[in-house]
C-alpha cells in the first residue's frame, strides 16, 4: 500500500500536497487563502529563548505596581492582581474570574507551555505529553489578552489623568516587555515545524 | 459602573463614558472605546448571523469573501474586552473610601457575558461549512 501524504486546509478542507517552504516564503491555501505555514529562522531556539525571557518577566509584571494614582492627597498603586481582588471584594465573581483568566492565568500558561515544548524539542527529549501541550497551547492562544489589557490601561489612564496624578511603576515596564515577548513568541513559533518535530520524537 | 467622587455617586454607562471622553476633548480615545465596546460586538453578532444564514440557505458564490468575514469576526472579538479591563483597573485604583470610589455595576457582567459568548460562537463556527455548500 502506498502511503499518500496529504494535508487538509484547516479552514476549507481542501486536500493539498504539503509544501516545504524556504525561509521567508509563505504558504497559503490556494482556495481560501489561509496562511498554512511561514517558516521562521531558528524557530525552536528562538521560542526557547523567548519563553525563558517571558517566564522571568511574568513575575515583576504580575507582582510590581503597574500604575499608581494620587488623588486629593490619597495615593494608591495598582498591580495586575489588585483589579481582580477588588472585583472579588465587590462580589463581581464573573468579571473577576474573566479578568484573572485572560490577563494572568492564560498568559502564564501560554509561556509555561511554550517553555515546556521548546525545551523538549531543543534538547531532543521525547515526552508523552508533548502533543497535548501543543494542542492546549493552540487552543489557549486566543484567550490570553495582554495587548487588550494594555489598551484598557491606556484608556483608564486617560480617564484618570484629569482628576489625579498618575505615576508609572516598574511593573508597567515589565508588562510592556512581556507584551513584546509574547508577540515575538507567537510569531517565532512555527506550528508546522513543531508538529513535525513532535512526530519525529515519538518514533 | 458607579463612580463616587466626594460622596456624590453617579452611575456611568458605556455610552456615558464615551460622551464624557468627547466632552473632555479625547476624541480618539472616545472613538476607540466606541469601536471596541459598541460597534465590534454589534457587527460581530450581525456577521455571525449572516454567516449562519449563508450556511443554512447554501448561498452560492463569494465563498472567499465569506471566509474573510469569518476571519475578521474571529480576530476582533477579543478587543471588546477593553472595557472590562478598564473597569478592573479603575476599580482597583480609585478606591479611597468616601473620597472617591468606582464600583462595577451589573451591566459589566452582562457585557462580559456578551463578549465571551460571541467569542465562543465565533470559535464554534466551522468555516469549512461555507466551502462544503459550494457546487
Ligand atoms: Zn483553504
Distance CA A199, CA A131 (A): 9
Domain A41-202 bears CATH identifier 2.60.40: no
Q: What is the per-residue pLDDT across A81-115, written as a single tens digit (0 to 9) for each? A: 988 998 888 888 889 999 999 999 999 999 999 99
DSSP structural state of residue B95: B
Q: Would you tell me how many other CB atoms lie within 10 Å of the CB of residue A41?
A: 10
Chain A closest CA to B132's CA: distance in Å?
Answer: 8
Residue spans of the domains in chain B: they are 2-132
Nearest CA in chain B to A35: B71
Which of B116, B128, B114 has its CA nearest to residue B54? B128
Collect all residues of chain A within an 8 Å Cβ-Cβ radius of residue B84.
Answer: 95, 98-99, 152
CB of A153 less than 8 A from some CB of B: yes
Residues of B in contact with A8 (CB under 8 A): none
Q: What is the ipTM of this complex?
A: 0.87
- Please list the rounded mean pLDDT of every run of 10 residues in chain B (135 residues): 58 78 84 86 90 88 88 88 89 72 79 89 88 79
**Domain ranges, ordered by start, for chain A:** 1-39, 41-202
Q: List phi, psi (to 5°) of A135.
A: -65, -45
Residue from the list B21, B78, B103 with its beta carbon closest to the beta carbon of A145: B78
pTM metric for this prediction: 0.88
Minimal-distance CA residue of chain A relative to B79: A148
A163 touches chain B (CB under 8 A): yes
pLDDT tens per residue across span A112-122: 999 999 999 99
Amino acid at each position: 500500500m502506498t502511503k499518500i501524504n496529504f494535508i487538509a486546509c484547516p479552514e476549507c478542507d481542501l486536500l493539498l500536497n504539503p509544501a516545504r517552504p524556504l525561509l521567508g516564503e509563505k504558504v497559503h491555501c490556494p482556495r481560501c487563502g489561509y496562511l498554512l505555514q511561514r517558516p521562521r529562522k531558528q524557530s525552536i531556539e528562538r521560542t526557547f529563548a523567548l519563553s525563558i525571557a517571558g517566564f522571568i518577566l511574568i513575575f515583576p509584571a504580575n507582582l510590581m505596581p503597574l500604575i499608581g494614582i494620587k488623588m486629593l492627597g490619597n495615593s494608591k498603586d495598582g498591580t495586575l492582581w489588585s483589579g481582580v481582588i477588588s472585583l472579588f471584594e465587590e462580589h463581581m465573581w464573573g468579571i473577576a474570574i474573566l479578568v484573572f483568566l485572560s490577563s494572568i492565568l492564560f498568559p502564564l500558561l501560554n509561556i509555561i507551555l511554550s517553555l515546556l515544548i521548546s525545551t523538549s524539542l531543543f534538547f531532543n527529549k521525547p515526552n508523552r505529553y508533548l502533543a497535548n501541550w501543543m494542542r492546549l497551547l493552540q487552543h489557549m492562544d486566543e484567550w490570553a489578552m495582554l495587548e487588550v489589557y494594555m489598551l484598557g490601561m491606556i484608556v483608564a489612564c486617560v480617564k484618570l489623568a484629569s482628576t489625579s496624578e498618575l505615576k508609572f511603576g516598574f511593573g508597567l515596564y515589565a508588562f510592556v516587555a512581556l507584551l513584546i515577548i509574547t508577540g515575538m513568541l507567537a510569531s517565532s513559533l512555527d506550528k508546522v515545524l513543531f508538529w513535525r518535530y513532535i512526530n519525529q520524537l515519538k518514533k | 459602573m458607579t463612580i463616587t467622587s466626594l460622596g456624590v455617586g453617579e452611575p456611568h454607562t458605556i455610552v456615558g463614558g464615551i460622551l464624557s471622553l468627547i466632552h473632555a476633548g479625547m476624541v480618539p480615545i472616545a472613538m476607540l472605546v466606541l469601536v471596541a465596546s459598541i460597534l465590534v460586538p454589534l457587527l460581530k453578532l450581525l456577521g455571525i448571523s449572516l454567516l449562519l444564514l449563508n450556511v443554512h440557505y447554501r448561498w452560492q458564490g463569494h465563498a472567499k469573501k465569506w471566509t474573510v468575514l469569518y476571519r475578521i469576526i474571529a480576530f476582533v472579538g477579543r478587543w471588546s474586552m477593553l472595557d472590562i479591563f478598564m473597569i478592573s483597573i479603575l476599580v482597583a485604583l480609585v478606591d479611597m473610601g468616601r473620597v472617591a470610589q468606582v464600583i462595577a455595576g451589573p451591566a459589566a457582567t452582562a457585557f462580559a457575558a456578551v463578549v465571551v459568548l460571541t467569542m465562543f460562537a465565533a470559535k464554534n463556527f466551522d468555516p469549512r461549512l461555507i466551502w462544503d455548500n459550494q457546487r
